């Protein structure tokens, strides 16, 4: 069995992803350099694990990293059904926070997380996403660091799964 079985096409090559991740990391480094407190990157598991691993290594200022796990029931149609399964461990009061997400579709997941984090007395909140499907958006989300806008196709790879598979594919592909 080949790990690429079932992938019908490559949407974004490894090299393109790498260049984009570097570019986002540079923008983050520039925006937060000289700040007294290191920003805290919060990766949403599991989909963002490769993205945040690469992104963080290209950021050349001090940062902290933590993770959250958010449940997404079924197809995420109802925002209120999104629950936090694992919260962060660090104190966020007074901190600059950057949420790192694999892909934003309806925006319900991010809306919920922003709502929760905004009750924690943080200094600022920004969003960094590798992929964005604007055609499927249901709520307004301002993506501060946006990787690629894509069409409404089901994508996998670079951490993103279909039924928990394909996360270890190094490019973004479309499942047939
Ligand atoms: P939403 O923005 O709340 O609708 O949810 C986005 C989440 O849905 C992502 O974090 C993924 O976990 C999942 N998702 C959406 N589109 C895809 C896709 O094309 N492939 C894999 N997961 C997806
Ligand atoms: Mg996700």
pLDDT digits (tens, 9 = 90+) for 89-139: 888 999 999 999 999 999 999 999 999 999 999 999 999 999 999 999 999
Q: Given this model, what pLDDT does residue 71 score?
A: 86
Q: Which two tokens stand for residue 79?
A: 């925002």
pTM for this one?
Answer: 0.95
SS3 assignment, position 8: strand
Residue 73 in this model has a pLDDT that exceeds 90: no
CB of 172 closer than 6 A to ligand 1? Answer: no
Find the 49 Cα to ligand 2 centroid distance in Å.
Answer: 10
Find the 100 Cα to ligand 1 centroid distance in Å.
Answer: 13
Of 24, 19, 56, the closest CA to residue 41 belongs to 56
Contact at 8 Å (CB) between 148 and 20?
A: yes
Of 147, 54, 43, the closest CA to residue 101 belongs to 43
Contact at 8 Å (CB) between 176 and 154?
A: no
Q: Which two tokens stand for residue 132?
A: 């964005």
Q: Given this model, what pLDDT does residue 78 score?
A: 53
CB of 150 closer than 6 A to ligand 1? Answer: no
Q: Given this model, what pLDDT does residue 3 score?
A: 92
């Amino acid at each position: 069995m080949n790990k690429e079985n079932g992938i019908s096409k490559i949407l974004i090559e490894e090299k393109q992803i790498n260049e984009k991740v570097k570019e986002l990391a540079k923008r983050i480094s520039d925006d937060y350099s000289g700040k007294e407190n290191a920003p805290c990157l919060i990766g949403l598991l599991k989909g963002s694990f490769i993205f945040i691993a690469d992104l963080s290594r290209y950021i050349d200022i001090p940062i902290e990293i933590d993770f959250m796990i958010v449940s997404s029931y079924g197809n995420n149609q109802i925002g209120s059904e999104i629950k936090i399964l694992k919260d962060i461990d660090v104190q966020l009061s007074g901190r600059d926070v950057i949420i790192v997400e694999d892909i934003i579709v309806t925006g319900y997941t991010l809306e919920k997380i922003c709502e929760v984090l905004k009750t924690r007395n943080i200094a600022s909140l920004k969003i960094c996403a590798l992929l964005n499907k604007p055609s499927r958006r249901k709520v307004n989300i301002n993506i501060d660091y946006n990787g690629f806008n894509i069409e409404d196709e089901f994508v996998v790879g670079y951490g993103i799964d279909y039924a928990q598979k394909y996360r270890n594919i190094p490019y973004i592909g479309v499942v047939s």
